[in-house]
Amino acid sequence: MTALAQAHDAVNLGQGFPDFPPPAFVLAAAERAARGEQQQYARGAGAIELCQRVAADASPGLGRAIDPAREVTITVGATEALFATIMALVEPGEEVLLLEPFYDSYPANVAIAGGCCRYVPLRVEGQRGWGLDLDELAAAMHDGTRLLVLNTPHNPTGKVFDRDELTVIAELCQRHDVLVICDEVYERLLFDGREHLRLASLPGMWERTLTISSAGKTFSVTGWKIGWVIANPKLSLAVRRIHQWIPFAVATPLQLAVAEALERAPELGYYDELRQLYTAKRDRLVSALTDAGLRPLTPGGTYFVIADVGACAEAAGLEDDVAFCRWLTTEIGVAPIPPSAFYGKEHAALARRLARFCFCKQDASLDQAAERLTKLGYVLRPGKT
Ligand code: PMP
């Protein structure tokens, strides 16, 4: 979609990366680290300065003192964290449970590990937005399930799993002795007073949960690729045994820069600022989509919004989400992502009426998209001026 957006000079609301610079204090930290003394291979499991900072930040939410030396592993973004973890835990033929729509690297990683995926779709529950049918999840999980991958706040729906849902998920995982990857890369992007709740903090879950996150979204530095896995020593060791043979160690100065950024962020009030910034961008995009006659489901977190574009797609004679997203890019000049890419074959039809838009863009880009989207009025109400 990015290539198509470029070819047609469309506003790219497809791929999720900010088109504005990272905060000055983050860039200053990188400059300092780039000129500093530590320029050689980092400690394999991660520069201890960063492990200490990640551990200190995560300890309150996890309700325990995380050991930086044994329970935090630094990786090449959350992407490598996911890959190393899945390679470490999944043996050929073992079953992994994924919720749909999923982040696209999950099934690819499971396939590389030789495992197989079973899918449970999230479903739109009217005004309440995206819900997980816990009975459907219970029916899909069994004693042979090795791993569940959960993502909260959730890309692409913006769903934030609440305590009740996480409690049922936790009980099911314990009943069937299932390990869990909790992908929390959007942990700082929560709206309307929501708080981030970590699955690993629920009773009985520290033993079986690997919490994955990264600096990319929090500091608008997706290109730095600094991520981490937090897990008990036994699970961390399993991840490290794979990580050792992927990058061995991660870029030293960028680890030190992230350590400094994490340390300074709270005192600068950065996290509140980030929430305010993204709340305003979310509201801007949601109203633009609504005004254009599309039906967005307001996200509780992340920088994505999914809209029901069915009425518009039908009016324009487009058969599914892929056709709609291509058309919106080439004819209207706004590029979204077709969410069927985030479903297995069985449930892909659930995405036929949907499109994903991201709002991690400058206000000028969002306003330009809004202006272009007004053209949809002619499609939905032909003849009206
Ligand atoms: N998980 C999810 C849900 C994501 O959206 C992303 C990035 N788009 C990642 C993992 C990968 O994160 P990173 O860029 O830190 O590798």
CA 150 from chain center: how many Å? 10
Residue 51 alpha carbon to ligand 1 centre in Å: 19
Residue 66's DSSP bridge partners are none
Residue 319 alpha carbon to ligand 1 centre in Å: 30
State both tokens at 61.
């939410």
Give the atom of ligand 1 at the shortest distance from the alpha carbon of 222.
14
Q: Which of 2, 109, 160, 185 for mutating ligand 1's site (highest number of atoms within 8 Å of CB)?
A: 185
Give the atom of ligand 1 at the shortest distance from the alpha carbon of 103.
3
Shortest-distance Cα residue to atom 12 of ligand 1:
78
Residue 381 alpha carbon to ligand 1 centre in Å: 39
Shortest-distance Cα residue to atom 5 of ligand 1:
155
Residue 81 alpha carbon to ligand 1 centre in Å: 10
* CA–CA separation, 117 and 115 (whole Å): 7
pLDDT in tens, the chain (385 residues): 999 999 999 999 998 999 999 999 999 999 999 999 999 999 999 999 999 999 999 999 999 999 999 999 999 999 999 999 999 999 999 999 999 999 999 999 999 999 999 999 999 988 788 999 999 999 999 999 999 999 999 999 999 999 999 999 999 999 999 999 999 999 999 999 999 999 999 999 999 999 999 999 999 999 999 999 999 999 999 999 999 999 999 999 999 999 999 999 999 999 999 999 999 999 999 999 999 999 999 999 999 999 999 999 999 999 999 999 999 999 999 999 999 999 999 999 999 999 999 999 999 999 999 999 999 988 877 765 5
pLDDT, tens only, 201-248: 999 999 999 999 999 999 999 999 999 999 999 999 999 999 999 999
Q: Tell me the backbone φ, ψ of residue 104, rounded to 5 degrees.
A: -65, -15
Listed residue (111, 55, 119, 58) closest to 83, CA to CA: 111
295-297 and 304-308 strand pairing: antiparallel
pLDDT at 383: 67
Percent of the chain with pLDDT over 70: 99
Q: Tell me the backbone φ, ψ of residue 102, rounded to 5 degrees.
A: -110, 165
Shortest-distance Cα residue to atom 10 of ligand 1:
78
Give the atom of ligand 1 at the shortest distance from the alpha carbon of 183.
1
pLDDT at 384: 57
* CA–CA separation, 225 and 248 (whole Å): 15
pLDDT at 353: 96
* CA–CA separation, 162 and 196 (whole Å): 9
- Distance from first CA to last CA of the chain, Å, rounded? 31
Give the atom of ligand 1 at the shortest distance from the alpha carbon of 16.
8
State both tokens at 295.
């039906």
* CA–CA separation, 120 and 52 (whole Å): 36
pLDDT at 326: 98
Question: How far lies 211's CA from each of 71, 179, 227, in Å?
Answer: 10, 11, 11
Listed residue (219, 229, 151, 153) closest to 186, CA to CA: 153
Residue 79 alpha carbon to ligand 1 centre in Å: 6
Residue 382 alpha carbon to ligand 1 centre in Å: 40
Average pLDDT, the chain: 97
The answer to whether the beta carbons of residues 366 and 281 sit under 8 Å apart is yes
Q: What is the pTM of this model?
A: 0.97
Identify the three-state secondary structure at position 120. strand
What are the counts of helices (DSSP H) followed by strands (DSSP E) for the chain? 15, 14
Ligand 1: list residues with CB < 6 Å: 16, 77-79, 103, 151, 155, 183, 185, 214, 216, 222, 225, 227
Residue 379 alpha carbon to ligand 1 centre in Å: 35
CA 214 from chain center: how many Å? 10
The answer to whether the beta carbons of residues 130 and 154 sit under 8 Å apart is yes
Listed residue (154, 170, 99, 184) closest to 301, CA to CA: 154
Residue 108 alpha carbon to ligand 1 centre in Å: 14
* CA–CA separation, 141 and 93 (whole Å): 16
pLDDT at 262: 98
Helical spans, DSSP H, in the chain:
2-7, 24-35, 48-62, 68-71, 77-89, 105-113, 134-140, 163-175, 233-243, 252-264, 270-291, 310-315, 321-327, 363-373, 376-380
Give the atom of ligand 1 at the shortest distance from the alpha carbon of 214.
15
* CA–CA separation, 159 and 301 (whole Å): 6
Q: Which of 103, 181, 211, 222 for mutating ligand 1's site (highest number of atoms within 8 Å of CB)?
A: 103
Helices 270-291 and 363-373: crossing angle in degrees, nearest 10, is: 10
Residue 318 alpha carbon to ligand 1 centre in Å: 30
Give the atom of ligand 1 at the shortest distance from the alpha carbon of 80.
16
Element (H, E) at 297: strand 295-297
pLDDT at 209: 98
Annotate 180-222 with three-state secondary structure: EEEECCCCCCECCCCCCCCHHHCCCCCCCEEEEEECCCCCCCC
Residue 314 alpha carbon to ligand 1 centre in Å: 33
CA angle 369, 370, 374 (to 5 degrees): 115
pLDDT at 228: 99
Give the atom of ligand 1 at the shortest distance from the alpha carbon of 82.
10
Residue 383 alpha carbon to ligand 1 centre in Å: 44
The answer to whether the beta carbons of residues 235 and 180 sit under 8 Å apart is no
The answer to whether the beta carbons of residues 160 and 153 sit under 8 Å apart is yes
Residue 145's DSSP bridge partners are 95
State both tokens at 367.
């306003």
